[in-house]
Amino acid sequence: MNLLILSCGTRDKVVEYFKEAFGDAGRVVCTDCSPYAPALYEADAHYLVPRITAPEYLDVICDICKKESITGVLSLIDPELSLLAAHSETFAALGVTIVGSDYERCERTLNKWELYCWMQEHGYPCAKTYRTIADFRGALERKEIGFPVFIKPMKGSASIQIARADDFETAAFLFAHGDQMIIQEFMEGQEIGADVYIDLISKEVVSIFTKKKLVMRAGETDKAVSFIDERLFEQIRKFVEESGFEGQIDIDLFERDGVYYFSEVNPRFGGGYPHAYACGVDHMTLIRNNLSGIANPVRIGGYQTDKVMMKYSEMRIVDARGTM
């Protein structure tokens, strides 16, 4: 039973946790397009591969799956999630399980407008979002929304190209000079992160970890504190049941006046997952069980609360000859 982690980048802890979970039961293999991705060197074996946009990329990954007798595969970056899902039959023919959601769900999460429309249709509180300047102007005139607002790409991640606008002229300028932009309500309140695992066999939500974000940096949680709210757990369970995600997902929410507003969903491990693991929430073992054909029992909550996660810098030194 061997796991392939694609685009591992700087997720050293994720690779380390998988190695602990798999132990002697299997190997953890990583790939990245850069030899300077430090997580590569945590793995039992690693490969340098083309960028995911290269026409030969999928063939290279399939060859690695064959060579390493891979059982399961997952990616740690958003653009690759849909690529994997779109070729699920190719991986299935190799005996490889994709640890993730199907193509439709992956595409929905990449498109903030589509996700917003789905949330609205299903009655989930979320930040007001506008796809055109005309719609935004009309909402301003009706006093449905005010400033500040955020201008962001309809498709994007890691807070790239997101800017705040405090007046209409700035909003219109940013919107006009971006590619497929949306305008979104500025959400005041407590930002929340949820690490969720949906069992690949039972399709049930079997684990949820929630944290209050204290400090953000480059779109990722830099400092946070763990907490439990059964009402939030129930809202997340309901959302997953209706949306149909599978495997690991990362959810961003806001709490304002006692209401939890959904912000974004990423069907992968989030950058703040090590906080969950440190508090006793081990999703790597859940994945190992699923790849072994074992369904996991539902165990939501029960983790350590009021534990503060504070990220800090580490470094890895390798021989330059080993990175070329």
SS3 per-residue string spanning 267-321: CCCCCCHHHHHHCCCCHHHHHHHHHCCCCCCCCCCCCCCCCEEECCCCCCCCCHH
Question: Percentage of the chain with pLDDT > 70?
Answer: 97
Residue 184 confidence class, pLDDT cut points 50, 70, 90: very high
Mean pLDDT in residue range 263-284: 96
Say which DSSP state 153 is in.
E
- The CATH T-level fold of domain 2-98 is Rossmann fold (3.40.50)
CA dihedral 208, 194, 223, 34 (to 10 degrees): 100
pLDDT above 70: residue 228: yes
Pick the more confident residue, 219 or 281. Answer: 281
Residues β-bridged to residue 84: none
What gap in Å lies between CA 39 and CA 5, rounded to an integer?
A: 10
State the pLDDT at residue 267: 97
**What are the Cα distances from residue 237, in Å, to 202, 298, 323?**
14, 11, 43
Q: How far is CA 260 from the centre of its chain?
A: 19
State the pLDDT at residue 313: 85
**Cβ partners under 8 Å of residue 218, min gap 6:** 158, 159
CATH superfamily of 128-185: ATP-grasp fold, A domain (3.30.1490.20)
Place of tokens 């994997």: 84
Mean pLDDT in residue range 27-34: 98
Which backbone phi and psi does 199 adopt, to 5 degrees?
-60, 130
State the pLDDT at residue 217: 77
Which pTM was predicted? 0.94
pLDDT above 90: residue 205: yes
Residues β-bridged to residue 210: 194, 227
With beta carbons less than 8 A apart as the criterion, state whether 85 and 98 touch. yes
Place of tokens 């917003």: 116
**Cβ partners under 8 Å of residue 85, min gap 6:** 98, 100, 101, 102, 103, 105, 106
CA dihedral 11, 248, 301, 252 (to 10 degrees): 80
pLDDT above 70: residue 239: yes
Q: How far is CA 72 from the centre of its chain?
A: 18
Mean pLDDT in residue range 229-257: 96
Q: Check whether the bond before 35 is cis (ω within 30° of 0).
A: no
pLDDT tens digits for range 90-108: 999 999 999 999 999 999 9
What residue ranges do the domains of the chain occupy? Answer: 2-98, 128-185, 188-310
Pick the more confident residue, 315 or 124. Answer: 124
CATH superfamily of 188-310: ATP-grasp fold, B domain (3.30.470.20)
Question: Percentage of the chain with pLDDT > 90?
Answer: 89
**Length of the chain as a residue count:** 324
Residue 216 confidence class, pLDDT cut points 50, 70, 90: confident
State the pLDDT at residue 159: 60
pLDDT tens digits for range 39-71: 999 999 999 999 999 999 999 999 999 999 999
Mean pLDDT in residue range 126-132: 95
pLDDT above 80: residue 265: yes
pLDDT above 80: residue 323: no
Mean pLDDT in residue range 134-159: 90
How is residue 128 written in tokens? Answer: 């007001």
If 0-12 CB within 10 Å is exposed, 13-18 middle and 19+ buried, where does residue 15 land?
buried
Q: Across the chain, what does the average pLDDT equal?
A: 95
Residue 257 confidence class, pLDDT cut points 50, 70, 90: very high
